[in-house]
């Protein structure tokens, strides 16, 4: 059950949006993520696939790794991931493996989303997890970041 208020979710999604904007300014796909434990951000990330030449350098992966390093444990059982775009299969797998308790995201990804759109990997009982997922927080803003980025890319 989601016991946190909408204003709490909005506050952390806004931080993820700022990270997405930072990544977009660096010619990365504008997706940002933060991992939160007890209302404190313990991990941050934005897409860095281009700069790191690493196909796994998604915002979620970077934020999850940073959070695990911050607390000194790969188990993020009491943590929430906030991300501007619905996680892909790889990131959903990392969410399951890191044992996050909740994922809150901005815009849905109808092509590769694995937290409700294309598939609900995070809610698949065969993985033995109970991850709460909620999408659509600042959905318009998060979607517009992506649309503007790709519109500019197509012109260039």
Is 139 catalytic? The answer is: no
Give the integer Cα–Cα distance in Å for 132 and 44: 20
Q: 141: exposed, middle or buried (C-beta count within 10 Å: 0-12, 13-18, 19+)?
A: middle
Cα→Cα distances 46→28, 79, 156, Å:
8, 18, 22
Q: How far apart are CA 30 and CA 118, in angstroms?
A: 21
Q: Which two structure tokens, joined as six digits, stand for 115?
A: 């937290």
Residues near 27 by beta carbon (within 8 Å), at least 6 away in sequence: 50
Query: Residue 22's closest CA among 54, 43, 42, 48?
Result: 48
Active-site residue, selected from the candidate residues 21, 38, 60, 144? 60
**Enzyme catalytic residues:** 60
């Amino acid at each position: 059950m989601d016991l946190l208020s909408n204003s709490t979710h909005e506050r952390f999604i806004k931080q993820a949006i700022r990270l997405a904007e930072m990544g977009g300014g660096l010619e990365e796909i504008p997706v940002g993520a933060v991992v939160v434990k007890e209302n404190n951000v313990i991990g941050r990330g934005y897409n860095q696939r281009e700069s790191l030449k690493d196909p796994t350098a998604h915002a979620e992966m970077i934020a999850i790794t940073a959070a695990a390093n911050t607390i000194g444990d790969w188990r993020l059982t009491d943590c929430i991931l906030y991300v501007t775009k619905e996680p892909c299969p790889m990131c959903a797998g990392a969410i399951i493996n890191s044992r996050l308790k909740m994922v809150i995201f901005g815009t849905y990804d109808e092509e590769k989303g694995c937290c409700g759109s294309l598939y609900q990997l995070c809610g698949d009982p065969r993985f033995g997890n109970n991850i709460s997922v909620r999408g659509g927080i600042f959905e318009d803003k998060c979607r517009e970041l992506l649309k503007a980025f790709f519109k500019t890319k197509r012109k260039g």
